Amino acid sequence: METSVTVGSAASSNWIPCNIQQQDFKVSLGLEVTGTGTYKVQHTFDNIQTDTSPTAFDHSVLVGIVASTDSNYAFPVRAIRLTCTSYTTGSATLKIIQ
């Protein structure tokens, strides 16, 4: 899977599902920030297809981000999203490769 999601306001993106059945689970995350804002990457262990209010957990590194950076998930999560916690201008794009 290779996908991306962009946030350009103080909001959260839609959840991006991961393949938790993948034998060797690994996800690369690249966060590209333009303008002025603060962002974080979140994940859930809930099934986003059946749970209308999945519990969001903050990524251990990608929190309070104001400049482009990268990280990963080495253990299974069901879905990932990008959240903007403070917005002035610009946007952020989260690129996900599993």
CA distance 29 to 73: 8
Task: Indicate the pTM of the whole model.
Answer: 0.96
Per residue in 33-66, pLDDT (tens digit) is 999 999 999 999 999 999 999 999 999 999 999 9
Q: 62-86: string of b/e by CB count within 10 Å (b at 16+)?
A: beebeeeeeeebeeebbbbbbbbee
Per residue in 60-93, pLDDT (tens digit) is 999 999 999 999 999 999 999 999 999 999 999 9
The mean pLDDT of 10-25, rounded to a whole number, is 95
Residue ranges per domain, the chain? 2-97
> In which band, very low, low, confident or very high, does the pLDDT at 6 lie, cut at 50, 70 and 90?
very high
Six token digits for residue 80: 């990932």
Fold of the domain spanning 2-97 = Jelly Rolls (2.60.120)
Q: What is the model's pLDDT at position 97?
A: 98
Q: What is the model's pLDDT at position 78?
A: 98
CA distance 81 to 96: 10
Residue 13, Cβ neighbours under 10 Å: how many?
Answer: 19
